[in-house]
Structure 1
């Protein structure tokens, strides 16, 4: 565990320290997000934060290669983990830089994501088996395993990309999901001696670190965005850990342990990534139903709807954290205890309470604001602004009739030369 924790710490520290330099580079490079109609930020904000996250990943892998246990993880088995992460991650980062700076059409972006999935497959990260509730694992020949692997990689990348709409949202959600994956993979690989799960454990550890290191710079108000460079990178790492965790070992081993039911590997990834996946599926259905491209942007994602309910920017992000953490924690509880009814009841109770608070908090905040006394100067200013306006007089100023006799002036009248009855203001 100490080596995993050191890897997480290095990934977080390198990412945190690199982010300010990447921010200055993004400003110089011209990779800034100008406010658009569907965005919630109002000032241009640098992107390319994923470049710092990639640096954190590289730093963590370098340190891991010098640790005794981690060196074995990177070298053992049929999976070239370090090479897979560096090559596929490097390709995704280059694609993201081009998109953050100049913009890349969806087809080119999709082709780059498929190519990254191909690198994973060539380096051994592929779905080989699928555990089934019947207890018999389903072996996947390349004709099925390869396209399913590509589907998982591309779907996870785009799910994370879709949810990257609020400050700190994608980094926090993926950080929570990867922490759940890391915990589960570590329990299996260390406590139960399944050494083939060390690869997904290390990948999840690196992902936890780079998300934690980037989040202080990205939480509201964000000083830098991760951009497509970052969202596609962390989606790629999440998919890699997912594939190695669910499809590269014999699920019968898990079935022999009472505390680790057979269905946990099948449910872990969909549940911890439920929020981005549900948002992605809803967006695709919504856009195709409107006769638009599934890649056409809009402002109707789940986080946008939370803002419409009256939640603040930070509260909307924390609500999304809550739901991802609840789903991941509930599944981990079911995986590590035999009392499934107790865990399910506690999770359902917390979920109901969360829904109530999510609906009630904006209303309570609105009532508190409405009950606060209005300062006298505000009332006076409002009364003045509410007076009947006179042509040629600003509505925010008193009319000529309301002025004192000494200061009252006759209404302005247009002259042939374009002036007014008073002295000319503009030439």
Structure 2
């Protein structure tokens, strides 16, 4: 556990220290988000935060690769460097978009190329050893990998609409993912807790923690597409790695499904972003627009329109992310009935908090 904490703290420290320099770079390159009708910020704000996040991720992974405990995870396979390379590709794509505002087709093409790079380097869905299911061909494996990675990338990108929202949600969901993979590795490999996915997600959580002080409301810098796409790709990459690192014979039946259906892990971590993305795509297509056509009807916008302040809306999204992500982890290790009852209680509490925080509703309650 200490090694993983070192990886997390390294990522956090590097990201935190480099972000101010990246902010100045964003100003010099005019990578600044103007105030638009759909936005909630009130003054132009520099972006390119993903550059600092990439630096934090890269340094943390280099440190991890030098630790004897994790040596085999980084030197016996190229998956770690493939994920870092994919993260660098989408970060550069995001930098180009942050500076020049690329059209959605160019961004989607770049995302597909980055996902294809991961698959080409061996980070791909090959088998679903649940009930004997396997992916039948190399072509289908490639397509499945690209779809999972591109969906995760856009899920994070779509939800990145309030100060600190995406970074905080990924930090919380990543924390749950970290706990899950760490406990799973302990059970599957007694005496050797080294796991690439755990190290990677520790670095991702650290990156988010280091960036949040600069990004929480009122934000001094946005992560931009460069940061949002980086987070989506690394979470998806870590989830895919889990399937290749656990021996099926050592995993209990209750753990088999989340261990071997890698799309379930991003779903658990990114459920709210995925829901927001799905609703946005359906809404835009129904209106005759491109799925990437921007609007101001995301879940976080609806919280603002309902009367929440900027910070309260973000904290409420944090709360729901915590409930969903840690409930998924608990389901893998505890009896389903207590988990279901506890999750139901947590959902009720979260709903009550969400409802009672609405200023208009509080005034009406007081009037009664």
Normalising TM by the smaller chain, what interval?
over 0.9
CA 1:248–1:231 in structure 2 vs 1: closer, same or farther (change >3 Å)?
Answer: same
Q: Please report how far the alpha carbon of residue 175 of structure 1 lies from its aligned counterpart in structure 2 after TM superposition.
A: 1.2
2:162 touches 2:310 (CA, 8 Å); kept in 1? yes
Structure 2: how far apart are the matches of 1:290 and 1:322?
Answer: 31
Unmatched 5+ stretches in structure 1: 372-427
The residue number in structure 2 matching 1:396 is none
Aligned to 1:74: 74
Asked if structure 2 preserves the Cα contact closer than 8 Å seen for 1:167 and 1:218, the reply is: yes
Question: For 1:125 and 1:99, how far apart are their aligned partners in 2?
Answer: 26
For residue 123 of structure 1, the aligned residue among 118, 121, 146 is: 121
Q: What's the secondary structure of 2:297's corresponding residue? A: coil
Contact 2:186 2:193 in 1 (8 A): no
Q: Which has the larger radius of gyration?
A: 1
CA distance in 2, matches of 1:275, 1:251: 30
The counterpart of 2:106, out of the listed 99, 105, 108, is 108
- The alpha-carbon deviation at position 22 of structure 1 amounts to 0.6
Q: Is the partner of 2:43 in helix, strand or coil?
A: coil
Question: Would the aligned equivalents of 1:8 and 1:205 in 2 still touch at CA under 8 Å?
Answer: yes
Q: Name the CA shift for 1:33/1:60 in 2 (closer, same or farther; >3 Å).
A: same
Question: Measured at CA, do residues 144 and 253 of structure 1 come closer, stay the same or move farther in structure 2, by a change above 3 Å?
Answer: farther
- Number of residue pairs aligned between Structure 1 and Structure 2: 363
- Indicate conservation of the 8 Å contact 1:268/1:328, yes or no: no
Cα separation, partners in 2 of 1:269 and 1:280, compared to 1, 3 Å:
same
- 114-123 or 220-229: bigger deviation: 114-123
Which whole-Å CA distance do the structure 1 matches of 2:273 and 2:198 have between them?
Answer: 22
Q: Which has the higher contact order (CA 8 A, sep 6+)?
A: 2
- Residues 54 and 233 of structure 1 are in contact (CA less than 8 Å); yes or no, is this contact kept in structure 2? yes
How does 1:168-317 map onto structure 2 within 5 Å?
168-193=164-189, 198-246=195-243, 249-254=246-251, 257=252, 260-265=254-259, 266=261, 267-317=264-314
Any idea what SS the aligned residue of 1:203 has? helix
Question: Cα deviation per residue 1:132-166 (whole Å; 9 max; x = unaligned)?
Answer: 3xx32424421211100000010000000000000
Residues 137 and 250, structure 1, Cα contact 8 Å, conserved in 2: no
Equivalent of 1:86 in 84, 87, 106: 84
Q: Secondary structure at the match of 2:337?
A: helix
Counterpart-to-counterpart distance in 1, 2:308 and 2:239: 32
Instruction: Tell me, yes or no, if the aligned pair for 1:130 and 1:137 is still in contact at 8 Å.
Output: yes
- Taking structure 1 as reference, are residues 124 and 320 closer, same or farther at Cα in structure 2, changes over 3 Å only? same
Contact 1:161 1:228 in 2 (8 A): yes
| C-alpha contact (below 8 Å) 2:185/2:246 kept by paired residues | no
**Alpha carbons 1:129, 1:248 under 8 Å: kept:** no
Aligned residue number for residue 57 of structure 1: 57
Q: With the length of structure 2 as denominator, give the TM-score of the two structures.
A: 0.93
Matched, 1:36 2:21: no
What are the ranges of 5 or more consecutive residues in structure 2 without an aligned counterpart?
none
Provide the C-alpha distance between the structure 2 equivalents of 1:88 and 1:223, rounded to a whole number of angstroms. 27
Q: Give the SS at the match of 1:263.
A: helix
* Distance in 1 between residues matched to 2:61 and 2:350, nearest whole Å: 38
Runs of 4+ in 1 over 6 A off after TM superposition: 194-197
Kept after mapping to 2: 8 A contact 1:15/1:52: yes
Render the CA deviation track for 1:268-318: whole Å, top value 9, x for unaligned. 331221100000000000000111110100000000000111111111111
Q: State the alpha-carbon separation in 2 of the partners of residues 353 and 305 from structure 1.
A: 20
Tell me, what secondary structure is at the counterpart of 2:255?
coil
Task: Give the deviation of 1:250 after TM superposition.
Answer: 4.9
Q: Quote the RMSD (CA, aligned, Å).
A: 2.1
Question: Conserved in 2, the CA contact under 8 Å of 1:19 and 1:52?
Answer: yes
Question: Taking structure 1 as the reference length, what is the TM-score of the superposition?
Answer: 0.81
CA contact (8 A) 1:188 1:197 kept: no
